[in-house]
Structure 1
């Protein structure tokens, strides 16, 4: 077997082994060495992710059976177009975040770089696993790493936010185990493909228990995704942690959204017999209310990082709408918007960090302060990101929202979806306009010459993310075509027989 035969497992193994190596005394004692190793690992991870994208594009879905034990008895990793795209997205974020941190943010904690690697390992594993129990395992890996990353650099506010974050996620993990135990008791398996085969065949006595397990999973994934009413932890957590960590956490809610799509959109989707689409009656009002509450919170935000955190909640609601629409066109539009919103929010968090370090005690709060030494550069980037987050042309946010609106056109749900998305965009326009005028125009005095200017590595990290927004427009045809392929593979799912056929290619 060649290296390409093990391509699927590399996004999990690379960050794992690099994290372990970075814990050795020789590496942990040398910050420049840690930076070099982590950046090299992120570049390698990005190359692997791109190779996986191309392989799936050419050969279709890929399956990897660990230890050569076939499903449903062995552990399998499954890479389709959607999961490979998410792995690629996490690799891009990992590279940008590491570059930004190398400007000095990583000096405030000894284990920053190994924790970033463990975080990426958990995220990639969650995207690639073909088994519900291993989804739980990878959730715990990324959560344990996030607990430490959230308090990176210390501080009272970070510790308080972390206590709430840890407490809620421990409850979520307990519910996750209860849900898995319930589903295993009724189905006798936790392999996604095997579960999808057995759910339509359930007897009347097993339906209620299985439904309970499925709805418990919805609550768990909803907590991870920060959907209403489980969203209240996010603004405090994301706005108080360090800048590179907040940017990486932009993909954390998408792990929850991805899991809802994978479990409730496929296994409990149209082919699930009497349990078909059991989550939709719950998700519809939650999706609309998440957008509404997120938009109100955006308008009430008093700092740029809190505003961006609330924009993450709005994006979660918009993605839930795509799931609720339950069509291939809506799924394709949602996948495009997911990539856009993750990149745009992560970039805005990085920009907020630069603004914070140049405004002194005012930080990124919407109050008057001395002018920033690099106000022109930062202001230009702010305008680009604001346009993208609002959903105005010509950047990718406009295309993402337009595709979602088009997918619901002439549907009875149009009366709910269009006003929610368009009004939330208008509110975001008002809030970001106010933020821009407060941060860049309301200055009291000369430039703050003593402020710490942005490091070239920080600008490079920001440039990587910002440049992807127009790229998604320039190559919009190819991106949307890939999103359609991802939606097609996701909606079709895999039966156990198909899983075996794919693994034997």
Structure 2
């Protein structure tokens, strides 16, 4: 009976699980080494297993949803059994299931790493971490624009607290900038949503995909403005040029586990661009067809170029990794900006690999810095680290993957993007930038590795020579080994990404699954939708549609 209940409500559980876990941890009280003396530490020891168990369960459920999505099942969960587009719907297709699984795959090792001591450097780390997961998971499964805004705000509020975790003057300084800029972006988000609702009468993504082509005349021009406003918002979240300058300082200042989790936060912006602009304002959207087409690809290529130059100029290892985050965003958006099914499949493949590698690199950067004494993560000669072979090999694996060396998935993803760009008018620009950025990335990371491991000074003695604990090493290795796993499973993963891309462009099938159909036809979007969709069960139940 319990298993049947879980199966019936599985689409909503990735949202409810972190929400209830966070509330439970808050009820347990404050935790951390600096709060209430020994009581804070005892509560922290209790919070750790609860938080890790919740993340483990979330990973299991995300894997189950991904398997069901791979079988062609598109699940629609109507909260309160209100029919779309009036009620709140959660939609699990191949793309959202993939993002849920990626988020959970990163969250669990990061939590294990943080439980090695970082979570005791501030207050309420585990509740805020769970609220962050709530916002991330909700953004990936929501079926309407307004709730996308709501989940954006949930994850942002949690990120504000996590950004300042551990305190420090630098974190407070960049944290103020981070909060102010995100508040401005949220205001723009509301403006864009309001314009779209005023012109279409709906915010449901499936309904919008069918109604946007019907908007003509002067209203279509305003709708294009709304689409561009949302591009500014999503571009800021994704750190796309010219809205990316906030990211390096912010991510470099955050604690290692927080920065590792933030590696997927930029991908929320990428996901929103693909879901909203690639589908709602995509092909067959009449006068708003590809409204961002002329600007997205040039901005994406510029993002990669700026990111790699920033990486070459970085003076600390965390800042280098932060700039590599910008590079990865630019590469993924370059695939999306080609606006083809093959290019989207390539972008998704590269997105998964780059996010895992960047998250692992943030943890690795902290491990290296902790063993270099007062020099820390600064890229200048220092004492030899306590584990040079292990840490050096981990950096080598990450560098090879992020730079795109064969046979690792970074190479496969970039090769797929280059192949998809072959018939594009921008083929020369894409090839030059993707290949050039890959070469410069390799040079930048190789330079950092040479300084960190080959330029040791015998006249300096490190403060910490004991090496990292097995817990910290294992968590970092799990993330970096994702590249090896993706290499071995490249063929089925490529097939999954291709199916996800094809499913995205099938807007009528998506509308039938979310809104329903009558007499085998897509609902008439020229009139307000009335009545329940076929197949909707009792309140809060989900509907499964085979595609």
**What is the TM-score normalised by the length of structure 2?**
0.90
Indicate the structure (1 or 2) with the bigger Cα radius of gyration. 2
Q: Distance in 2 between matches of 1:165 and 1:319?
A: 23
1:435 aligns with 2:448: yes
1:479 aligns with 2:493: yes
SS at match of 1:179: helix
Q: Distance in 2 between matches of 1:450 and 1:19?
A: 34
Q: CA deviation at 1:285?
A: 1.6
Residue 500 (structure 1) aligned to one of 515, 519, 543: 515
Residue of structure 1 equivalent to 2:34: none
Residue of structure 2 equivalent to 1:470: 484
Residue 307 (structure 1) aligned to one of 290, 313, 320: 320
> Would the aligned equivalents of 1:179 and 1:213 in 2 still touch at CA under 8 Å?
yes
Q: CA deviation at 1:284?
A: 2.1
Residue of structure 2 equivalent to 1:391: 404
> Would the aligned equivalents of 1:27 and 1:33 in 2 still touch at CA under 8 Å?
no
> Would the aligned equivalents of 1:373 and 1:449 in 2 still touch at CA under 8 Å?
no
Structure 1 stretch displaced more, 286-295 or 160-169: 286-295
Deviations 1:97-125 (A, max 9, x none): 10110110001112000111000010000
Residue of structure 1 equivalent to 2:253: 240
Q: Distance in 1 between matches of 2:104 and 2:365?
A: 22
Residue of structure 1 equivalent to 2:372: 359
Q: CA deviation at 1:59?
A: 4.5
Q: CA deviation at 1:449?
A: 6.6
SS at match of 1:178: helix
Aligned 1:298-337 pairs, distance under 5 A: 298-337=311-350
Q: CA deviation at 1:411?
A: 3.0
Residue of structure 2 equivalent to 1:215: 228
Residue 28 (structure 2) aligned to one of 20, 25, 28: 25
Residue 119 (structure 1) aligned to one of 127, 132, 139: 132
Alpha-carbon distance change, 136 to 228 in structure 1, aligned in 2, over 3 angstroms = same
State the superposition RMSD in angstroms.
1.4
Runs of 4+ in 1 over 2 A off after TM superposition: 25-29, 446-453, 493-498, 500-505
SS at match of 2:91: strand
1:147 aligns with 2:160: yes
Residue of structure 2 equivalent to 1:370: 383
Residue of structure 2 equivalent to 1:205: 218
Q: CA deviation at 1:276?
A: 0.3
Paired positions, count = 505
Q: Distance in 2 between matches of 1:128 and 1:370?
A: 48
> Would the aligned equivalents of 1:21 and 1:27 in 2 still touch at CA under 8 Å?
no
Aligned 1:146-165 pairs, distance under 5 A: 146-165=159-178
Q: Distance in 1 between matches of 2:173 and 2:463?
A: 33
| Larger proportion of helix | 1
> Would the aligned equivalents of 1:183 and 1:213 in 2 still touch at CA under 8 Å?
yes
Residue of structure 2 equivalent to 1:348: 361
Residue 467 (structure 2) aligned to one of 446, 453, 473: 453
Residue 431 (structure 2) aligned to one of 390, 409, 418: 418
Alpha-carbon distance change, 59 to 2 in structure 1, aligned in 2, over 3 angstroms = farther
Q: Distance in 2 between matches of 1:283 and 1:449?
A: 47
> Would the aligned equivalents of 2:374 and 2:462 in 1 still touch at CA under 8 Å?
no
Deviations 1:49-76 (A, max 9, x none): 0000111122421100000111000000
**What is the TM-score normalised by the length of structure 1?**
0.98
Aligned 1:44-123 pairs, distance under 5 A: 44-123=57-136
Q: CA deviation at 1:308?
A: 0.9
